[in-house]
Structure 1
Amino acid sequence: MLPIVMALAQFAPMIAGLISGPKAEEIAGKVVNVAQAVTGAATPDAALAALQANPDLALEFQKALVEKEVELAQIAADVRKAEIAADAQSEQTAAGDRDSARKREAAVRDNTPRVLAYLLIGGFLGMAFAVLFGQVRADTVLAGTIIGYLSAKAEQIVAYYFGSTAGSAKKSELLAQAGKPPA
Structure 2
Amino acid sequence: MSKLRRVLEALLEPDEPGPPASEDFSDARIKHLEFIQGAILRMAGNSFLFKGWAISLASGLAAFAAIESRRAVLFVGIVSTLLFWAMDGYYLWLERGFVGLHVRVAKLPASQPVDYAMAVDKTHALRRWLRTMMRWHLLLLYGTIVVVNIVGALYLKEVKNG
TM-score of the superposition, structure 2-length normalised? 0.31
Q: Which has the higher relative contact order, 1 or 2, with Cα contacts under 8 A spaced 6 or more apart?
A: 2
Larger radius of gyration: 1
